[in-house]
Amino acid sequence: MLGDIGGNMSHLTVAEIERHIRNVPDFPKPGIQFKDITPVLADGRVFTAAMDHLLTGITRDTVDKIVGIDARGFIFAAAAAARLGVGFIPVRKKGKLPFDTHEQSYDLEYGSNTIAIHTDALKPGERVLLLDDLLATGGTASAAVALLHKLGAQVVSVRFLIELEFLDGRKNIAAHDIRSLIKY
């Protein structure tokens, strides 16, 4: 199903981008329907169109930085930042960033995860677009938003290529504007 972003800037429709998402059943474990975005990345026109749609309504006048979440979020956030001419900020898994960090943990089905951001990554009041490839339970994105709030950043929008709507992850994200391109 089509999501709630997607302008007409691109030559390709969101439905055409959706055709390039490959469903891989039972990866990485039984019962999971893994949404493989590598066919989107592999086709230059589709990748570009996905970027265009993700950036609908976003300009250098509305955001100062684009933040991506380790690891597939980096691909979209870095490409989007370069396209817009704004800075890219990584939110990484714990233990990977070399300088001083803030950390945020969140619960998984079994156990927990911790993500981190450099303490000087953003200045208070900076306007941020947060990007990730996929919204499932919302644990990752809500932890990332918490890190952005710790730095005093203003979260303009949180956007995903894919949203698994049945998991209702957006209810866990404290942000005003949450959008996805393709919903399952």
The region of 77-85, 96-104, 114-122, 133-141 touching ligand AMP under the rule CB under 6 A is 133-141
Smallest gap, in angstroms, from Cβ of residue 132 to ligand AMP? 5
| H or E element that contains 179 | strand 178-183
Position among 12, 34, 48, 149 found at the interface with ligand AMP (CB under 6 A):
34
140 binds ligand AMP (CB under 6 A): yes
Judged by CB under 6 A, the chain residues 43 through 102 that form the site for ligand AMP are: 69, 72
- Confirm if 122 and 151 have CB atoms less than 8 A apart: yes
Position among 10, 14, 17, 35 found at the interface with ligand AMP (CB under 6 A):
35
Catalytic residue among 22, 45, 60, 109: 109
Give catalytic status of residue 72 as yes or no. yes
Separation of first and last alpha carbons in the chain: 6
Position among 3, 68, 90, 169 found at the interface with ligand AMP (CB under 6 A):
169
Catalytic residue among 72, 159, 170, 179: 72
Q: Which of 181, 177, 146 is nearest to 162 (CA)?
A: 181
18 binds ligand AMP (CB under 6 A): no
Strands (E), 37-111: 65-69, 87-93, 101-107
Contacting residues for 181 by C-beta, under 8 A, at least 6 apart: 2, 3, 5, 6, 14, 17, 50, 53, 54, 159, 160, 161, 162
42 binds ligand AMP (CB under 6 A): no
Give catalytic status of residue 109 as yes or no. yes
